[in-house]
């Protein structure tokens, strides 16, 4: 029972740190004008017609890709640390949040998300070139 509570605390702390990191990165991107608010993004996707509109969307998706790539790198580094110092979860609970395999899975997910964002950026780059 105590080990279960310990795992919950470790997971909660991990989630809290991850959330704070993402908020920090999102704030940096928004202050640099690269990332759009959800409402602005939705409005712009629905109404984009000019090259400037598509450039804004391109920049937004490139910023999102960069965030996903940074998160993937962070999880690759965590996976290396877990491999160097395996936890009991590696054998008892494979894929648990405190295992290398969990970090590798999350890193792959982030890499795929980054690729999708780069694809969206490329699409809007092309649309900007074909716009007035």
Is residue 120 pLDDT above 60, yes or no? yes
37-96, pLDDT tens digit by residue? 999 999 999 999 999 999 999 999 999 999 999 999 999 999 999 999 988 888 888 889
d(CA 32, CA 35): 8
> How many distinct structural domains can be found in the chain?
1
Average pLDDT over residues 121-127: 96
The predicted pLDDT at position 26 comes to 43
Is residue 105 pLDDT above 70, yes or no? yes
Tokens 């970090």 identify what position? 103
Average pLDDT over residues 101-126: 97
d(CA 47, CA 53): 8
Average pLDDT over residues 4-20: 44
48 is in which domain, residue-wise?
A: 2-130
Closest to 110 in 3D by CA, of 63, 75, 59: 75
Cα 93-75-2 angle, rounded to 5 deg:
35
If you average pLDDT over every residue of the chain, what do you get?
A: 81
């Amino acid at each position: 029972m105590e080990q279960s509570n310990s795992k919950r605390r470790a997971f909660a702390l991990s989630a809290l740190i991850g959330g704070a990191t993402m908020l920090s990165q999102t704030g940096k991107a928004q202050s640099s004008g690269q990332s759009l608010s959800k409402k602005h993004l939705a409005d712009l996707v629905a109404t984009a017609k000019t090259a400037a509109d598509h450039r804004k969307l391109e920049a937004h998706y490139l910023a999102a890709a960069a965030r996903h790539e940074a998160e993937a790198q962070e999880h690759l580094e965590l996976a290396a640390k877990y491999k160097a110092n395996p936890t009991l979860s590696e054998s008892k609970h494979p894929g648990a949040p405190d295992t290398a395999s969990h970090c590798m899975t999350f890193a792959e997910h982030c890499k795929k998300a980054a690729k999708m964002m780069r694809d969206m950026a490329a699409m809007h780059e092309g649309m900007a070139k074909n716009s007035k």
